Amino acid sequence: MIIKTDILIIGGGISGLSLAVKLTKLAPDVQILLITKENVTECNTYYAQGGIACVWNENDSFEKHVQDTLIAGDGLCDEQVVRSIITKAPERIQELIDLGVLFTRNENGQYDLGKEGGHSERRILHVNDLTGQSIEQKLIEQVKKLKNVDIKEFWCAINLYAKNFECYGAYVLDQKSGEIHNIAAKSTILATGGAGKIYLYTTNPDVASGDGIAMAYRAGAIIANMEFYQFHPTCLYHPYAKSLLITEAMRGEGAILKDIKGNKFMQKYHPLKELAPRDVVSRAIDAELKRTGDDYVYLDIASYRNSNFIKTHFPGVYETCLKFNIDITKEPIPVVPAAHYCCGGVLTKIDGSTKVKNLYVIGESSCTGLHGANRLASNSLLEGLVCAHECANKIKNKLNVLKFNEFEEWEPGNAVPSTEAVILTQNWDEIRRFMWNYVGIVRTDLRLQRAKKRINLLLDEIDQYYWDFQIEKNLIELRNLATVAKLIIVSAISRKESRGIHYNLDYPEKSDMSRPTTLRRPW
């Protein structure tokens, strides 16, 4: 089935939803189709706990926020982009407030600004520890009121249609009917989030399989800095818990990391201790686990804050941990590091534009230069907001000169229904395990070369499966996940130093390689 729309937005997190709202205000007659491969709430935004970083009080300054971001980015940030996004933050945050997002206030009625690792001042606006959920719900409410925005849930993008570095739209699978649609669009925007499911342990939901990055790569876009995958230091360790992030704000409010014997250890690794940048904290925990042979460490807030404070400041974590018989007001939380955020992605300008005409990428799938070699905590939702705004303005100014370019319908060839789905689960599990063991928090050249050999073999298997059997969501995700795994591995091999999140035991020092790593599909 052929569908025409002015704008195709793939992804329903803060970036995609904000863009839909903005475009409707700027161009009330524009027709927008927004698709999500699961429920619209199932995205990284919804699970974001900490908040949004923004200069909001007189003790803080844009310059302080800029410098904190540059320090965290370890020499790879684009300073012009950093300054632009940070100075635009207050206006974008005010728009959320105007939409009805109720950021938490203190007893004096002022916004309760949190402090997280790497920040020199309190500047994290939050809704207790459910910030992403609150923002997502307000944006969904707003978008559903818009008559010119059509939301299609359980529609999974298979591939972009691009020719000569120009994007005409996408092939999309309707999971309920099994039909594959040709969606022709004047502009296509990827707002698909990250790729955390590429690793064995992650804070991301299952939908985070790197779809946008993989599709853009196949369309000819430039991919940058994929070796910089951020690991969050504290994910709940429990056999039945799934992807539960323990917010960094908890350490900002005094929680202490301890080994299972109750000994503090962060003082050995960084002067800021628990408030050191995420890569430092993650490596410290990883080193302690390798030293002791333990499976986890403890995050202890119960010893330092009273029960009422914990319940009011961290209600989400409190309630969820109780489901696993862990009362965080009385006992420490068992935690491990987990894959959290992709600092690389499709190389874009601040307005989301790429080297592929009429293709835009915003949010975690993009690489604007804001994060460099390591993202500063709570700068991600901020980037999504600002870049969605800039993208809307860019597209609005081009709408009158854009046109549809129809393309051929999906050709199923001789594909038959799958009888070997076990291949999908086997390959997925294998990728996630060797990525964790070989391309994780600490790397070596030998581990990376082993990973490269394995991913090349698996890509051949997956490609054969892709052409032999009918398309389904699990196959689409596996194909994308394997592509992104290859991008991360190749990028990591090419960086002969340790910088930011990328730590290689064979090159423990920083070199003069202060430039992005870029990859582009051969044409």
- Give the separation between CA 313 and CA 477, rounded to whole angstroms: 36
Phi/psi at 72 (5° precision):
-60, -40
Q: CB of 199 within 8 A of CB of 338?
A: yes
| CB 458 within 8 Å of CB 303 | no
Other beta carbons within 10 angstroms of residue 295's beta carbon come to 10
3-class DSSP state of 518: strand
Q: 175-180: list long-range contacts, CB under 8 Å, 24+ apart.
A: 175/37, 175/472, 175/473, 179/1, 180/410, 180/412, 180/471
- How far apart (Å, rounded) are the C-alpha atoms in residues 294 and 260? 8
CA distance 185 to 159: 14
d(CA 129, CA 319): 11
Contact indicator for 523, 236 with CB cutoff of 8 Å: no
Q: What averages of pLDDT result for each successive group of 10 residues across the chain (523 residues)? A: 93 96 93 95 82 93 97 95 97 95 91 88 91 93 94 97 94 95 96 94 91 97 96 89 82 94 96 87 91 93 96 91 95 95 97 97 97 93 96 91 81 78 89 94 96 96 89 94 97 95 95 87 61
Which one, of 432, 3, 521, lies nearest residue 215 by Cα?
A: 521
Catalytic residue among 92, 123, 251, 278: 278
**Chain-centre distance for alpha carbon 351:** 18
Residue 407 near residue 169, CB atoms below 8 Å = yes
pLDDT at 8: 98
CA dist 186 and 183 (Å) reads: 10
DSSP string computed for 162-173: ESSSBEEEEEEE
- The angle formed by the CA atoms of residues 493, 494 and 500, to the nearest 5 degrees, is 85
At residue 9, the 3 state secondary structure works out as strand
Query: What is the number of residues in the chain?
Result: 523
Q: What is the pLDDT of residue 516?
A: 87
Q: pTM value? A: 0.91
Domains of the chain in sequence order: 2-228+343-401 (3.50.50.60), 236-338 (3.90.700.10), 422-509 (1.20.58.100)
Assign 3-class secondary structure to 345-358.
Answer: EEECCCCCECCCEC
65, two tokens: 């926020």
- DSSP for 483-516 reads HHHHHHHHHHHH--S-BTTB-BTTS-S--S--S-
User: C-alpha 9: how far from its chain's center?
Assistant: 17
Distance CA 199, CA 339 (A): 6
Question: Which pLDDT does position 118 carry in this prediction?
Answer: 85
Q: Specify the residue for token string 């050191």.
A: 276
Q: What's the rounded Cα separation, in Å, for the pair 229 and 320? A: 26
CA distances from 81 to 76, 203, 367, 371 (A): 11, 27, 11, 10
Q: What are phi and psi of 440, to 5 degrees?
A: -100, -135
Q: In sequence order, which ranges of 248-378 are alpha helices (DSSP H)?
A: 249-252, 278-292, 307-313, 315-322
β partners of residue 520: none
User: What are the structure tokens assigned to 3, written together?
Assistant: 């569908």
- The strand pair at 180-190 and 359-361 is best described as parallel
> What is the C-alpha to C-alpha distance for residues 478 and 483, in angstroms, rounded to an integer?
9
At residue 2, the pLDDT reads: 86
pLDDT of res. 522:
61
Residue 37: burial class (beta carbons within 10 Å; 0-12, 13-18, 19+): buried
Q: How far apart are CA 362 and CA 391, in angstroms?
A: 8
**181: enclosing H helix or E strand:** strand 180-190
Known catalytic residue: 495?
no
* Separation between Cα atoms, residue 403 and residue 387, nearest integer Å: 24
Phi, psi for residue 465 in degrees, rounded to 5: -65, -40
**Torsion angles phi and psi, residue 233, rounded to 5:** -65, -25
Residue 264 DSSP symbol: B
Which DSSP symbol is given to 254? T
Residue 300 has phi, psi (to 5 degrees) of -110, 110
Tokens linked to 203: 């804070």
Q: Tally helices (H) and strands (E) across the chain.
A: 14, 17
